[in-house]
Amino acid sequence: MIICRNVHVAYQNHVMALEDINFSLQGPTITGIIGPNGAGKSTLLKAILKITPHTGEIFINGDATKKWLKRVAYVEQKSAIDFTFPITVKECVSLGTYPAVGLFRRLKRSNWADVERALRTVRMEAFINRQISELSGGQFQRVLLARCLVQKADFIFLDEPFVGIDSISEQIIMQTLRQLKNAGKTILIVHHDLSKVGQYFDQLVILNKQLVAVGPTERVFQKESLLQAYGENIFVDGGND
């Protein structure tokens, strides 16, 4: 369970990114965080992860300390990730074991077995020895999800994982996330494309600096909330922001 109570985030340039956010989110779930550009979606994930300072309180499973953070796997928005870094797919996925194994420790055979299993799950096993720089956007995103799998986290946060990827990769990622939800995980996804919202998410957090709505998708994915978050333009341009 994730609880935000009176959460505010102001960046150093005095940009108020989030104002008075209050919600509680009970897993297992695949929850979408939606809202226009600059709505504070990425900031919300970073505040929960304590990457960005906030006021107010955030609890993960009842705990406001950093104790739970190693149980959270996180993939940043793609623009923030260095694709050209010279490591192989196998090495990249193995980085997910570090919260458990510790940095610079040797991986055990069972860790490598986890790496291979995770790559099979996202159907990237044939690419195990490739450089990550050789992958397509969708293949790379699948590898990043495999890295989350080996982390064996209870919480998985993905920031715009579907931007610029092929539809097969998108389907494989969603299939994998549904399996993870069925296994009890809490998954938060910052998402852009409103056309898939009903299909992908069981709960939504709709943001526009403030919390516009939170709850089961069928209840909150409604015209009033979307107008409040995106303004009139949303219905003019067909939902792209």
Residues near ligand ADP, by CB under 6 A: 11, 13, 15, 17, 35, 37-43
Residue 119: which of ligand ADP, Mg ion, none does it interact with, CB under 5 to 8 A by kind? none
Q: CA 172, CA 76: separation in Å to the nearest integer?
A: 19
Which lies closer to ligand ADP via its Cβ, residue 41 or residue 78? 41
Strand partners, 238: none
**Tally of CB atoms within 10 A around 182:** 9
Q: Does the protein bind Mg ion through residue 169 (CB under 5 A)?
A: no
Residue 15: which of Mg ion, ligand ADP, none does it interact with, CB under 5 to 8 A by kind? ligand ADP
Which lies closer to Mg ion via its Cβ, residue 118 or residue 191? 191
Residue 113: which of ligand ADP, Mg ion, none does it interact with, CB under 5 to 8 A by kind? none
Distance of CA 23 to the CA centre of its chain: 17
Q: CA 23, CA 204: separation in Å to the nearest integer?
A: 11
Binding mask 26-65 for Mg ion (x = CB under 5 A): ---------------xx-----------------------
At its nearest, how many Å lie between ligand ADP and the CB of residue 196? 17
**Cα→Cα distances 157→45, 100, 114, Å:** 7, 18, 20
Any idea which residue has 């998708």 for tokens?
217
At position 145, the amino acid (one-letter code) is L
Query: Is the dihedral angle over the CA atoms 128, 183, 61, 141 positive or is it negative?
Result: positive
Which lies closer to ligand ADP via its Cβ, residue 38 or residue 198? 38
Residue 32: which of Mg ion, ligand ADP, none does it interact with, CB under 5 to 8 A by kind? none
Q: Which residues bind Mg ion (CB under 5 A)?
A: 41-42
